[in-house]
A and B are shown apart, each in its own frame.
Chain A
């Protein structure tokens, strides 16, 4: 069965860095586009970043552009999000999610990992 398992969250000071990982299993990872989506405590869903199946196409939300970097290692069935210059407003649960293509829904989500940015 499809599984997405995020890790790497935690408490970090403003201005700090964190790297999230998402381990995929149960499907051919290299066939799928992947995204990171976040949810601040008690708030709605915000798309963060997207990477195509080959890694050749990448998009970011304006709120994270220049600070976050998405990447993937298809040989390791893994998705990553490098987060630099973290701010209090980046505090959220971060989910990785699978898409079949560029205009398709997120059909599987991980359980999420909590990132807290606080001094």
Chain B
């Protein structure tokens, strides 16, 4: 199975900050990397697919980059509604696997 490792596991930031979350795969997954946002008590929501494509309806302050084994999710200017947990997921091979999550908290 492909292991997905996110860093950091938690992060404190302020409204307006630029934030970057990193995801590393245990082997190359090309660009088959997706990012999700989850708020407490809610289902995950797809933000970015294929490493850098913005899902319809997602604000442009969210962006993704990377290929192979190293990927990043960047939020250019944090808004109050962005405080949540973020997960990366590889869809390169079965079983698909998720990172352990990054909890983004208000400083």
Contacts of B63 in A (CB 8 A): none
Tell yes or no: A80 within 8 A of B by CB: no
Pair A105/B46 contact, Cβ less than 8 Å = yes
A32 contacts B by Cβ under 8 Å: no
Name the contact of A59 in the complex, choosing from B34, B95, B99 (C-beta under 8 A).
B95
Nearest residue in B to A93 (C-beta to C-beta)?
A: B43
Known contacts A104-B91, A105-B91: A45-B98 contact under CB 8 Å? yes
Contact check, A47 vs B98: say whether CB atoms are below 8 A apart.
yes
User: For chains A and B in complex, what number of residue pairs have CB atoms within 8 angstroms?
Assistant: 52
Asked whether B7 is an interface residue with its Cβ less than 8 Å from the other chain, the reply is no
A111 CA / B43 CA spacing, docked (Å): 5
How many chain A residues sit at the interface, stated as a range, is 20 to 34
Total B residues in contact with A, Cβ cutoff 8 Å: 23
**A106→B98 contact, CB < 8 A:** no
Q: Does A50 contact B (CB under 8 A)?
A: yes
A44 located at the interface, meaning its Cβ lies under 8 Å from any Cβ of chain B in the complex: yes
In the bound assembly, the distance between CA atoms of A21 and B85 in angstroms comes to 27
Report which of A35, A47, A59, A112 forms a contact with B43, defined as CB distance below 8 A: A112
Q: Mark A85-100, 1 if CB is under 8 A from B, else 0.
A: 0000000000100000
Q: What chain A residues lie within 8 Å of B95 (beta carbons)?
A: 47, 59, 61-62
Q: Which of A44, A50, A108 contacts B100 (CB 8 A)?
A: A44
Report yes or no: A46 in contact with B98, Cβ–Cβ below 8 A.
yes
Task: From known contacts A44-B98, A44-B99, A47-B98, infer whether A103 and B87 are also in contact, taking CB-CB under 8 Å.
Answer: no
A62 to B97, CA, bound (A): 12
- On chain B, the residues within 8 Å of A111 by CB distance are 42-43
Contact A45–B94 (Cβ < 8 Å) = no
Chain B residues with a Cβ under 8 A of chain A: 32, 34, 36, 42-46, 49-50, 55, 87, 89, 91-92, 94-101
Q: A44-B87, A104-B49 are known; give 11 further A-B pairs, CB within 8 A.
A: A45-B44, A47-B95, A47-B96, A47-B97, A50-B96, A95-B43, A103-B92, A105-B49, A106-B34, A106-B46, A111-B43
Ranked nearest first, the 5 interchain pairs of A and B with the lowest CB-CB distance are: A109-B43, A105-B34, A105-B49, A45-B98, A47-B96
